[in-house]
Each structure stands twice: as C-alpha cells, then as structure tokens.
A and B are shown apart, each in its own frame.
Chain A
C-alpha cells in the first residue's frame, strides 16, 4: 500500500564539476550546508563473472553486503557482519544471501574491486525548513587524481513527490536520470584497480575461424586462444585463489596437446614434436595438485556416502589430502615461476607470431574447412567403431579408451564449430556430452577406487587413527564400487542413442 520511494542518478558529463552543480543548486533551492563522507564500496564477482552473467551485482558497503540486480533492486542482503573476509559462498553465515550465492558461485572465489566514493550529502528544504528531498554528490578519483566517476543521486522523501519532480527537471540538464549506477560503479572500480572489464573472461572455448583460412593460420588462431587462456589463469594458480584457475589452465594445455595430435602435417614436424613434449611437461607438473583438488571438492559427497561411525576416519583422510595439496601447490607455484615454464611460453608465443607461410608442410596451405570435415568425420567413425565393440564382458580399460576417443571428437567439434551451422553444432556437442558424462563418471569412479586402494595399502597399521582411517576408506571403496557398476549398466543405452542412424546421418551430411 505504501509506495516505494524513488531514486534517480545522473552521471555528470566530463565538463561539469561538482562545484558547478552546487552553484546551480544554490541559485534554485534552499538547503542545509552539505556533510561530507567517504565510504569505500566494494564490488565482488568471480574471475569468470558468474554474477554479472546473471545480471547480478554483489556489493559491500561498510558492513552491509547486498546482492542486487542491474536495476538496483536488492535481492538479498546481510548486515552487521564482523570484519571478515568472505571468499567462497561457504564462508558466509547462514542466510538468504549464502543460499543464493551457493547456487551462483559454486566452487569459485569472489574477487574484490573497490571504489572510494567521497560523498557530499545535502537536504533540500522548503520554507518551513523541512527536508523535502535528499541529494548526494558523489565523486571517485583514482590513485593518480584522475576523476573516474562523478554523479548526482536524488532521493525522494515520502509525501513530497512534487519536489522530487521539480528537482528531477533541474538535474535533467545533465541527461536522463537512471534508477541505478551500479554497472558504471563496477566498471569504474575495475578501471581504478587494473585493466579488467565485465565478461572479459569465459572458460568456454570459442574461436571464430574463416573457411578459407589456411590450415596453419587456423590452427595458430586456435593455439593463440588456448595460450591466452593459460596466461590469464597462471597468476590465479600461483596465488591459489580457487581450484578453477588450475582447471581452466589444464584444459587449455590438454586442448593444445589434443589439437597437435588431431591436426597432423600442418605444423612443421620438428616443431610439433618439440611442443608436444613441452605441453606434456605442463600437463605433468599441474597434475598432482588438480588430482588432490578433485578429491578435496568431493569431501561433502564422500561424507554423505558413509555412516556416522565411519566419519572420523574420513576426516583424517581429508586432513591428510589437504596437507599434501599444500605441498603440491607450493611446488606447482614454483614450477609456474620457473625458467622452463617461461621458456616454453616465450618460444611458443614467438612461434605462433611467425609468418604462417614459413616452412610450408604437406597440409599447411590446405583450406581449414576441408581438413576440419575430414578430422571430425574420422573421429566420429572411430568412436562408433570402438563403442560398438563394447559388450557386457568388455574390460573397463576399453571403456576408458573410448572416453579418450570421445574427448578427441568433442575437441575437434569445438575447435572447428565456427565453420559449421551453429545450431546443429551445438546440438551435436550436447548429444556427445551425454555419452561423455557417462564415460567420465565411470572413469572418475574407477580412478578414485584405484587411488583409495593405493592409499589403503600405504596406511601404517597399529594405531587407533589408522584403524579408523582404513575402515572409512574401506566403506568408501564399497560404496564407490556399487555406483561404478551401476553406471556401467547405463552405457549401452547411452551409446546407442549417440550412435543412432539418425545422428550418424547428420555427421555424414555435415562433414562427409
């Protein structure tokens, strides 16, 4: 029944100073001398903009956290929290905000971008000296004293709508008022702190190729994009911000290696051979930390698999993993700052920047579209052939090999997807993903069981702790074993839907 109070914001043109605005106000309105405050305002989002992508902004002012939409409407807020750093959603105390963030952020950390706004607040008065509107003049300067943001915020006082309208007309000389400035503030905060802009990073692979590009030009475009991903994520791995930096880095390395083995005779053989080995090295040094990350992220999942009485042993297990991870991460951070890493990156960058026409090879000048069709179709037929050979008694290792083949097909579809109709490519990648998820889960469970068996073998007996630990690992192994078998039974169904006549016809039509 009570109306929401209005609020409007004007961003001032470059040429207008706050003093100009003040002079204008003095000539037209009566107000109390302004009070000045300076309050930091910090915006938070993940490295890959999970909030911004959903048109959301998380902002902290003083001790108040609010999750707002782009129109400034507050979705959730949390106030009165002590001065603590909340990096992940699980760091927040139980609240609506925490629940909202858990779904949005998943495993990613929040990164801050701060803005220091100095505010002059004035009360506009009527002839009874009653406040009839609030005006805030806001200004942000960066470290070098350059003005980044200058704005006016007008707030309504209930029952004084006429004065609000009158003031709105006055401020409209600076353009049209908006209901929120949060987007601009975020951009400004980012500008003050570094060179980031919203949505400047996505873990999704998307490279635009031209069908008439030479094969070498095209693969270099792909490699450059993957290299950029590695470079973007390196610092996050060293600073150990969250597990996704390493994950994205490793995916880029894997894609690079995969491209080298899938797209043959395009790079000079000795170049391909050399970098194949170098990227294998990057895969190796990043492996142990990632493996431990995967287990540590499984903590809640594993807990839910065991009865209460086996939980203490599991706790020791995860304590031990966390300790190992700290050691591995330190080593990894050193490797990524070491000379071999630097050499690989510099050499690769230099090679990619060279003229495409240097040292031509058998297929370096072939149009990329021709090569792409051939590779995708070949990969598809290989998956179908290997998949059809699988029956009930096939050993697990064959399913793991099929997973690798599937991955190669998926990468080749992704590398070249810009050359073919987007809708169909999207559908095919999705369809393949269903099969890959089944095989991936199957493989993960298999790897996890291997790891747990090895872990069990290494436990030194004779203490209470080791007894509890062994019991928990045993319980977990049993549980994982059953799930592993269950997933195996779903394979046939999943595969036959992928290898359907209809689906294969589409492959032949598009790539044959």
Chain B
C-alpha cells in the first residue's frame, strides 16, 4: 500500500505520462489502483477519456468522504479507477483557505481511499503551492521526473530548500531522469554528475515518440505499444518503485 505523488516544480517534464503509465502497470498486476488527477489542466483525465461528473469540483474534492467517492470513475482497465480533475482545481489554493490553510487536508481526504485502493497515484500540478505542500505531507513517495538540464537542476535545488525549510521528510523524495536524449552531451554530463548520489533511481525514461503519441491514442504506452522501448522503460521504473514500496 502506498500513496505515490509524481511532482516537479517545472512543467513539461513527463509527470502525467509517468503517473498514467505507472498507475496502469500497478493495476495490470491485479492491484486495485486509483489515479488522482490533481492538475486543473486535466491531462491525465484526458488520456483516459474521462471527464469529471457535472457536480464535481474543487469544493467537493476538499470536502472529502462521499463527495470524493462519487467523483471516482472507472477507466477502461480492470482494477484502475480515476478521480478526474476539474477546471476549478486552478483555484484550489483559495478554496483551501476555508480549511484555515491546512497542510493536512489532502492527507485527510486520501485516508479513507487508501483503505479501498492498494496504490494511489497523484498527478500533481507544477509550482510550489499550498496544494503541493499538502501533497508532500500526504504522499509516501514523491517521484520527481527530472530532465537532465541546468534549469532542472536549479529548480530541484529550490525544492530541496523548501523541504529543509518546512521540515518535511526528505526521504520521501526519489528522482529519476526523464525525457533523456542520449545524443545530447549536456544530458549525459548532467546524469554523470549525479551518479552515485542517494535517492536517484537507476531507471531513466528516454525521450521517445511513443510517449508523445499517448495524446493521440489516449491510452497508456504499455497497453498501446506493449513491446516498445518506452513500455520497457516504464516497466523497469515501476519495478524499481515497487522495491522502494516494499522497503518502506
């Protein structure tokens, strides 16, 4: 049982693709899995062709309990349900004001769901907001896709600083390299400089067209192209994450 949040301060690093593919792989083993789309853009929801019900919005989500349960919808895959994002999530920080700017509200909402689903994945919006802070507290594992570039490095530093400042357990953080292009010298150098450091996963996800095509086919890669290099990369990543879950 684990709550796995996929997060990065920066956008466009392959967060949604990671959350969607790992959630799919988790359910494929017969493990009951819930994917929560926390990003108001609703990309994960789009990949599964799921729209939120008309009555569902940020307020309903923050209320928790049955209002959340009613928002959950089945995907086209067995054992994989999803809580789609609503566009009102863009103002969720303001809505959190009603809860006295609580940092534990998401944790409270997820607790009863954790009793029903073995794995819960959170696809998080970028930036450091009250919502992301809530997610940092709620998650057992924070999975950070990291494009090996200088800008990414800088933003990662900011995240570490934030964790230090707030005192959130940094041991939750796990980084893996995403959208890696072997032909780029900078990518390889950057990865080299991280070699041997703690909390860096061995698996990296290459930059591959099949991942980009998820937007066209609207299916997880391991379902759409089961034997592709992209599928193998996500399968390897999921095995590594499972080992972490087993250890925790």
Enumerate chain A interface residues (CB-CB to B < 8 A): 1-3, 5, 123, 128-131, 157-160
- Inter-chain pairs besides A1-B65, A3-B69, A158-B72, 16 sampled, C-beta below 8 Å: A1-B66, A1-B69, A1-B112, A1-B115, A2-B116, A5-B74, A123-B76, A128-B51, A129-B49, A129-B218, A130-B48, A157-B73, A157-B74, A158-B74, A159-B81, A160-B73
A123 to B69, CA, bound (A): 24
B202 at the interface (CB under 8 A from A): no
Residue on A with the closest CB to B56?
Answer: A159
Q: What A residues does B71 contact at CB under 8 A?
A: 159
A292 to B115, CA, bound (A): 53
A3 to B70, CA, bound (A): 9
B50 at the interface (CB under 8 A from A): yes
B35 to chain A, nearest CB (A): 13
Q: What A residues does B65 contact at CB under 8 A?
A: 1
The reply to whether B49 and A2 contact each other, CB–CB distance below 8 Å, is: no
A100 to chain B, nearest CB (A): 23
B24 to chain A, nearest CB (A): 14
B228 at the interface (CB under 8 A from A): no
The reply to whether A159 and B116 contact each other, CB–CB distance below 8 Å, is: no
Q: Please give me the 7 A-B residue pairs with the lowest Cβ-Cβ distance, nearest first.
A: A159-B73, A130-B49, A158-B74, A157-B74, A128-B49, A131-B76, A1-B69
Q: What A residues does B112 contact at CB under 8 A?
A: 1
A423 to chain B, nearest CB (A): 50
A153 to chain B, nearest CB (A): 16
B129 at the interface (CB under 8 A from A): no
Do A130 and B50 form a contact, CB below 8 Å, given A2-B116, A157-B74? yes
B127 at the interface (CB under 8 A from A): no
Residue on B with the closest CB to A159?
Answer: B73
A157 to B48, CA, bound (A): 13
Other-chain residue from B72, B76, B115, B218 in contact with A159 (beta carbon distance below 8 A): B72
**B residues 71-95 with Cβ under 8 Å of A?**
71-74, 76, 81
A130 to B48, CA, bound (A): 8
The reply to whether A159 and B74 contact each other, CB–CB distance below 8 Å, is: yes
B53 at the interface (CB under 8 A from A): yes
A162 to chain B, nearest CB (A): 9
> Mind listing 6 A-B residue pairs with CB under 8 Å?
A1-B65, A1-B69, A129-B49, A158-B74, A158-B81, A159-B81
Q: What B residues does A157 contact at CB under 8 A?
A: 73-74
Q: What A residues does B50 contact at CB under 8 A?
A: 130, 159
A131 to B113, CA, bound (A): 23
Q: What B residues does A128 contact at CB under 8 A?
A: 49, 51
Do A2 and B74 form a contact, CB below 8 Å, given A130-B50, A158-B81? no
The reply to whether A2 and B72 contact each other, CB–CB distance below 8 Å, is: yes
Residue on B with the closest CB to A79?
Answer: B30
The reply to whether A2 and B69 contact each other, CB–CB distance below 8 Å, is: yes
Other-chain residue from A1, A3, A123, A158 in contact with B73 (beta carbon distance below 8 A): A158
Q: What B residues does A131 contact at CB under 8 A?
A: 74, 76
Q: What B residues does A5 contact at CB under 8 A?
A: 74
A279 to B48, CA, bound (A): 74
The reply to whether A160 and B51 contact each other, CB–CB distance below 8 Å, is: no
Q: What A residues does B72 contact at CB under 8 A?
A: 2, 158-159
Q: What B residues does A129 contact at CB under 8 A?
A: 49, 218
Q: What A residues does B48 contact at CB under 8 A?
A: 130
Interface centre among A1, A5, A160 (most CB of B within 10 A): A1
Q: What A residues does B81 contact at CB under 8 A?
A: 158-159
**B residues 87-133 with Cβ under 8 Å of A?**
112-113, 115-116
A116 to chain B, nearest CB (A): 24
Q: What B residues does A1 contact at CB under 8 A?
A: 65-66, 69, 112-113, 115-116
B171 to chain A, nearest CB (A): 30
Q: What A residues does B116 contact at CB under 8 A?
A: 1-2
A160 to B72, CA, bound (A): 10
A129 to B49, CA, bound (A): 7
B219 to chain A, nearest CB (A): 10
Do A159 and B53 form a contact, CB below 8 Å, given A1-B65, A1-B66, A123-B76? yes
Q: What A residues does B51 contact at CB under 8 A?
A: 128
A1 to B117, CA, bound (A): 11
The reply to whether B76 and A130 contact each other, CB–CB distance below 8 Å, is: yes
A130 to B115, CA, bound (A): 27
Interface centre among A2, A131, A158 (most CB of B within 10 A): A2
A29 to B72, CA, bound (A): 24
B218 to chain A, nearest CB (A): 8
A2 to B68, CA, bound (A): 9
Q: What A residues does B49 contact at CB under 8 A?
A: 128-130
A128 to B51, CA, bound (A): 10
A2 to B81, CA, bound (A): 11
**B residues 19-74 with Cβ under 8 Å of A?**
48-51, 53, 65-66, 69, 71-74
A5 to B116, CA, bound (A): 14
Residue-wise, chain B 167-206 has the 8 Å CB interface mask toward A (1 for contact) of 0000000000000000000000000000000000000000
Residue on A with the closest CB to B65?
Answer: A1
The reply to whether A160 and B69 contact each other, CB–CB distance below 8 Å, is: no
A385 to chain B, nearest CB (A): 69
A123 to chain B, nearest CB (A): 7
Interface centre among A3, A129, A130, A160 (most CB of B within 10 A): A130
A159 to B81, CA, bound (A): 9
A87 to B66, CA, bound (A): 45
A409 to chain B, nearest CB (A): 60
A159 to B34, CA, bound (A): 13
A3 to B53, CA, bound (A): 16
Do A160 and B74 form a contact, CB below 8 Å, given A129-B49, A130-B48, A130-B50? yes
Q: What B residues does A158 contact at CB under 8 A?
A: 72-74, 81
Q: What B residues does A159 contact at CB under 8 A?
A: 50, 53, 71-74, 81
A159 to B48, CA, bound (A): 13
A3 to B69, CA, bound (A): 8
Q: What A residues does B115 contact at CB under 8 A?
A: 1
A131 to B50, CA, bound (A): 10
Residue-wise, chain B 232-243 has the 8 Å CB interface mask toward A (1 for contact) of 000000000000
Q: What A residues does B76 contact at CB under 8 A?
A: 123, 130-131
